[in-house]
Amino acid sequence: MSDPAKDAPSRAAVRQKPSRAEKTRQTRRRIVAAAAALFLDQGYGQTTLDQVAARAKVAVQTVYFHFGNKATLLKEALDVAAVGDDEPVAVLDRPWIEALAAEPDPVRVIELWTDGGREIMERVGPLLGVVRGTAGSDPDLAAQWDVNEGERRVAFRVLADLLAERAALRPELTIADAADLAFLITSAENYLVATGTLGWSPQRWRHTTVTLLVAALLEPTA
């Protein structure tokens, strides 16, 4: 007859065993992390899916099964870097956006928005540098850059809407104008130049960007 006390650890181990879905997710995470590290270490063009598989300790067929090709893998790496995890929650649905939407002060809205942008850029900036540096000679990367910039441009309409709802925009600006100005001032290329060519810290980029956005978008009384 079995001893319930002795059986308890084995039952606990069974309960703690990862599900198939969790194992799949862990595998995808390892593959994405391996790919991102290789892209940064040796560049996109020099990285092969065989190398990604070896670094992630999976068969190359597993990489193909989950991602299909290197361009898709790069997009996944950028998406994970942008939000900081692999949860299926878009940037604009994250809690920090909700907090920002509840803020009545338009200057503080810009500060919170730029704080979020700085955190995203710190994570995704190195990979964006890889994409930007190779986009001129690789159609896949050029297309990926355009997709990323298009998504960011749409996101800045949210900021413009928030400022308009607070009646804080300069009277000569439409919401579309304000969104375009904000996108221009906080473009990924400007971040890469500031933190790369100029050697600025992300904090200095944040401070300068807030100053420019407030001056360009808000009425002086705001």
Question: pLDDT tens across 163-215, in order?
Answer: 999 999 999 999 999 999 999 999 988 999 999 999 999 999 999 999 999 99
In the listed set 66, 88, 110, which residue is the last one of a domain according to the structure? 88
For the entire predicted model, the pTM comes to 0.77
Token pair 């904090």 is found at: 203
In the listed set 45, 72, 88, which residue is the last one of a domain according to the structure? 88
Domain identity same for 98 and 82: no
Asked whether residue 65 is domain-assigned, the answer is yes
Asked whether residue 41 is domain-assigned, the answer is yes
How many independent structural domains does the chain possess? 2
Q: Would you tell me how many other CB atoms lie within 10 Å of the CB of residue 101? A: 14
For the chain, 222 residues long, give each residue's pLDDT as a single digit of tens: 555 555 555 554 455 677 888 888 899 999 999 999 999 999 888 999 999 999 999 999 999 999 999 988 988 898 888 777 666 556 667 777 788 889 999 999 999 999 998 998 998 888 888 887 777 778 877 887 888 788 888 889 999 999 999 999 999 999 999 999 999 999 988 999 999 999 999 999 999 999 999 999 999 875
List of residues 6+ apart from 24 with CB closer than 8 A: none
Q: How far apart are CA 140 and CA 68, in angstroms?
A: 14
In the listed set 29, 58, 88, which residue is the last one of a domain according to the structure? 88
Helices 202-217 and 106-134, packing angle to 10 deg: 120
Asked whether residue 207 is domain-assigned, the answer is yes
Q: Residue 188: which CATH number?
A: 1.10.357.10
Domain identity same for 164 and 210: yes
Domain identity same for 203 and 141: yes
Looking at the DSSP bridge assignments, the partners of residue 218 are 169
Domain identity same for 222 and 117: yes
Domain identity same for 97 and 200: yes
Range of the domain at 142: 90-222
Domain identity same for 97 and 207: yes
